[in-house]
Amino acid sequence: MPYSWAVQCRNRRYDRGGVERLEVPVVSVGNLTLGGTGKTPTVAWLAEWFQRQGRRPAIVSRGYRSGSQAWNDEALELAQRLPNIPQVQNPDRIVASRQAIARFGCDIILLDDGFQHRRLGRDLDLVLLDATEPFGFEHVFPRGTLREPLSGLSRADVVVLSRANLLTAPQRSSIRQRVAQLAPTAQWLEIAQTPTHFLNSSRQKQALDVLRGPPLAAFCGIGNPSGFQQMLQSSGFDVAVFRTFPDHHPFSTEDTESIARSAAAAGAEAVVCTHKDLVKFEQDRLNGIPFWALVIETEVLSGQEQLLELLRSLLEARPAGSG
């Protein structure tokens, strides 16, 4: 109750004003719950789309657990995916956004994990719901996994059901009906996180089929480990052992050796992790066992044309150089 009360008071304060607007459009990608919902590949998808339209996007984030100098793991993952798109990390995202505009000449700000960051005004709010637990067990943290009460979804312009391919059509329809009650004006989008290939620390790629068949060892240190496990299983991989670590886990030498021992004991022919985890390693093998990350991309299953219409309208309303 104290947590909910504090969040609601804060939201009411920003509903009354105190929001700062930039001279360029701001698009936020966020969620309602703790843990992973697929924000990083969605941010990458949007950044690439804006770039294809001739715009100069920048990605701005808080830099959670980035340390005093280094980028955090999400930023490192995005840097590998999008080497030509600048990123700025700063807990003060207004300062970070202004830095991106001044230093890089950016004319679109993509706010990564920005739904609860109310101080920076945005032109479009995308909110991701994880299909495996879209409503955070109906309670805010610590009783549930909601960052704020479900009523906050009413601020969303687009509600995105991620990992929608894991549900049946009736299950997706049930979630959509609930969302329509909470956010009646929001557009609806369904996406899947689709595996495309494997990648190692040397930037070598491997086709998915190569690792289908032999037993694998898998691990991750992300917000929603069950989502990664389900993805591996539904993609036809034989996961002999699966290890989980806390989100943003700083893997030690002891962790690496433990993972390798588990893999060897299970007879695994390769070790697999997420791209977010891979950026913390510099080796292509763990005690002689090939080591790969599963790379995923966002695939829009339904609602893409409606989303693109919103994005095009945003660009028309605020063309490049109009600030």
Q: Is the pTM of this model over 0.75?
A: yes
Determine the average pLDDT of the residues in 178-199.
96
Angle (CA) 141-39-115 rounded to 5° is: 55
Q: What's the CA gap between 199 and 205, in Å, rounded?
A: 5
For residue 74 the two structure tokens come to: 């999400």
* Better pLDDT: 17 or 148: 148
> How many residues comprise the chain?
323
Q: Which has the minimum average pLDDT: 17-26, 102-111, 117-126, 242-251?
A: 17-26
Structure token pair of residue 13: 């304060």
How much is the average pLDDT of 195-211? 96
pLDDT digits (tens, 9 = 90+) for 253-279: 999 999 999 999 999 999 999 999 999
Beta pairing class for 215-220 and 205-206 = unpaired
Q: Which is nearest to 156 in space by CA: 117, 197, 176, 128?
A: 128
Cβ contact 277:73 at 8 Å: yes
pLDDT at 221: 94
The per-residue pLDDT for 66 is 47
Mind listing the pLDDT tens digit for each residue in 48-105?
999 999 999 999 998 765 444 457 788 888 998 899 999 999 989 999 999 999 999 9
Dihedral sign from CA coordinates of 76, 121, 19, 322 = positive
Answer yes or no: is pLDDT of 192 > 90. yes
Q: Which domains does the chain have, with CATH numbers?
A: 2-194+299-317 (3.40.50.300), 196-296 (3.40.50)
Is 244:223 a contact under the CB 8 Å cutoff? no
Q: Does the pLDDT of residue 139 top 60, yes or no?
A: yes
Statement: residue 1 has pLDDT above 70: no
Q: Is 285 helix (H, G, I), strand (E, B) or coil?
A: strand
Question: Measured between alpha carbons, how far is 136 from 283 in angstroms, rounded to an integer?
Answer: 36
Residue 161 CB burial class (10 angstroms; 0-12, 13-18, ≥19): buried
The better pLDDT of the pair 266, 143 is held by 266
Backbone dihedral region of 20: left (phi > 0), alpha (psi from -120 to 50 degrees) or beta?
Answer: beta
- Answer whether residue 116 shows pLDDT above 60: yes
Enter the tokens of residue 166. 């894991």
For 25-53, the pLDDT digits (tens) are 999 999 999 877 888 899 999 999 999 99
Percent of the chain at pLDDT > 70 equals 92
